[in-house]
């Protein structure tokens, strides 16, 4: 692997190094360290270095979650060619080394996990397995199987090549901690589950139907100061971003009222072949940040200054959130740093974004202006073996 430093004028650097964890379809979870470069703090230079690698998560690690209650890292293996996926738990360290706690077999195809019930349990979405599972988190940080929900379609959806079966894509906890929702790309549903706080058991409620052919993929909840709750949903097949006002139906479920709908490129025509990917909130809850794959709008100077070959880049998008209405306003379409930004995450300060570029086998770090929500310059880049599937900060 190689690393480069990319200068970014005006970025205030931190004197403290931070670890990141990266999963890829190479079968490896790579530990990276982001630190100020030899130029020194205050100049804007950072460097990424590899500090450790771990191949104990199965052949196709697809998602990483850090448990905020016990600092355990959970990794799921999508398992394309084996009958089962796996759930693996690791302890972290300052050096970036991950130490195995536990591995459990599960339904094939896990692609997302979330911690719920105040750290007592974990839920997973299984894309190719057409399922959702729940797990008790043991005192050791290990896992014990709790429930399995299998989903079916009576007929293929509007886009049969992608909607031949249910494809749960993400598990998302609501702001009250009482519900989990699961966008299902194959079924054009947002599935809703109520959480029993005593047992961590999930109860399936009435799902919310999205327009046919949408292919809902990822989403994020926001509770604003007025007490309103909004849900933002990005749909891969229709390339749309939608806002819903959420109302609570006692313990029986959630109601979603659409308040905003746009193409993922705003007023611009959606490029042919584009595939919407990630949607997350900024740490200050003022912006929704999204990504789109397979639509090259930028040609970047190579991060390796000895290489004159341009880098084709897909995009990251910044949307301002109107807290009164839940409506979004597209502020920026920025280069992602390469091809297929499947996943990205923001540090706690909100001033840096780590992007996993699946088809380039690369992680880049981008500065971000907290005040106006704009993506800025690239500050570091690192090649990683295999197709990158997720990247998270160890904060």
Nearest-angstrom CA–CA distance, 280 and 391: 13
Q: Which residues on adjacent β-strands are paired with residue 368?
A: 375
Q: Backbone phi, then psi, for 44, in 5-degree steps?
A: 105, 5
Mean pLDDT of 283-305: 96
Mean pLDDT over 296-300 rounds to: 97
What per-residue confidence (pLDDT) applies to 6? 40
Whether residue 5 is predicted with pLDDT greater than 60 in this model: the reply is no
pLDDT of 45: 79
Mean pLDDT for 196-209 is 98
Is the pLDDT score of 12 beyond 50?
no
Lowest mean pLDDT among 40-54, 132-146, 300-314: 40-54
The Cα-based distances of 226 to 73, 282, 324 in angstroms read 34, 19, 8
pLDDT in tens, 68-97: 999 999 999 999 988 999 999 999 999 999
- B/e letters for 367-385, b = 16+ CB within 10 Å, e = fewer, are bbeeeebebbebbbbbbbb
Residue 353: closest CA among 173, 341, 361, 331: 341
Would you list the DSSP string of 351-370? Answer: SEEEEEETTTTEEEEEEE-T
- pLDDT per residue as tens digits for the range 342-370: 999 999 999 999 999 999 999 999 999 99
Helix or strand (DSSP H, E) at 103: strand 99-106
Average pLDDT of the residues of the chain: 94
Q: What are phi and psi of 101, to 5 degrees?
A: -105, -45
Cα distance between residue 368 and residue 284, in whole Å: 13
User: Band of the pLDDT at 37, cuts 50, 70, 90?
Assistant: confident
The C-alpha atoms of residue 126 and residue 114 are separated, in whole angstroms, by: 12
Q: What's the pLDDT at 42?
A: 35
Cα separation, 15 vs 250, whole angstroms: 48
Share of the chain above pLDDT 90, in %: 91
The answer to whether residues 129 and 79 touch, using CB atoms and an 8 Å cutoff, is no
Give the C-alpha distances (Å, rounded to integers) separating 355 from 45, 95, 151, 363, 382: 18, 21, 32, 6, 11
Report the C-alpha gap between 223 and 323 in whole angstroms: 9
Which of the four pLDDT bands, split at 50, 70 and 90, describes residue 15? Answer: low
- What's the average model confidence in pLDDT over 233-242? 98
Q: How many Cα atoms occupy the beta-carbon half-sphere of 233 within 13 Å?
A: 35
- Reported as a pLDDT band with limits 50, 70 and 90, residue 7 is very low
């Amino acid at each position: 692997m190689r690393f480069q430093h990319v200068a970014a004028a005006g970025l205030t650097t931190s004197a403290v190094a931070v670890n990141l964890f990266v999963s890829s379809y190479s079968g490896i979870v790579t530990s990276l360290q982001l630190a100020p470069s030899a130029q020194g703090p205050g100049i804007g230079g950072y460097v990424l270095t590899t500090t450790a690698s771990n191949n104990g998560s199965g052949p196709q690690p697809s998602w990483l979650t850090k448990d905020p209650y016990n600092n355990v890292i959970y990794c799921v293996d999508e398992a394309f060619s084996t009958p089962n996926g796996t759930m693996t738990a690791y302890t972290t360290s300052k050096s970036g080394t991950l130490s195995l706690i536990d591995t459990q077999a599960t339904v094939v195809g896990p692609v997302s996990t979330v911690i719920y019930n105040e750290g007592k349990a974990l839920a997973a979405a299984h894309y190719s397995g057409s399922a959702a599972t729940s797990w008790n988190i043991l005192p050791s940080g290990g896992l014990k199987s709790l429930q399995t929900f299998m989903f079916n379609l009576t007929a293929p959806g509007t886009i049969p090549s992608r909607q031949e079966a249910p494809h749960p894509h993400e598990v998302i906890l609501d702001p009250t901690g009482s519900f989990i929702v699961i966008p299902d790309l194959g079924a054009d549903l947002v599935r809703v589950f109520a959480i029993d706080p005593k047992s961590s058991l999930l109860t399936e409620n009435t799902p919310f139907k999205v327009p046919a052919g949408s292919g809902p993929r990822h989403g994020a909840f926001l509770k604003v100061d007025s007490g309103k709750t909004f849900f933002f949903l990005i749909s891969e097949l229709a390339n749309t971003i939608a806002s819903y006002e959420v109302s609570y139906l006692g313990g029986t479920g959630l109601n979603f009222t659409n308040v905003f709908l746009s193409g993922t490129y705003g007023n611009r025509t959606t490029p042919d072949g584009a595939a919407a990917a990630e949607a997350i909130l900024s740490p200050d809850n003022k912006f929704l940040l999204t990504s789109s794959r397979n639509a090259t709008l930028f040609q970047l100077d190579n991060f390796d200054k000895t290489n004159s070959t341009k880098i084709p880049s897909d995009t990251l998008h910044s949307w301002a959130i109107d807290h009164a209405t839940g409506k979004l306003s597209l502020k920026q379409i920025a280069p992602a740093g390469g091809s297929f930004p499947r996943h990205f995450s923001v540090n706690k300060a909100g001033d840096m974004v780590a992007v996993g570029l699946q088809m380039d086998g690369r992680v880049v770090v981008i500065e971000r202006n907290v005040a106006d929500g704009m993506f800025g310059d690239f500050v570091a880049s690192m090649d990683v073996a295999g197709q990158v599937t997720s990247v998270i900060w160890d904060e």
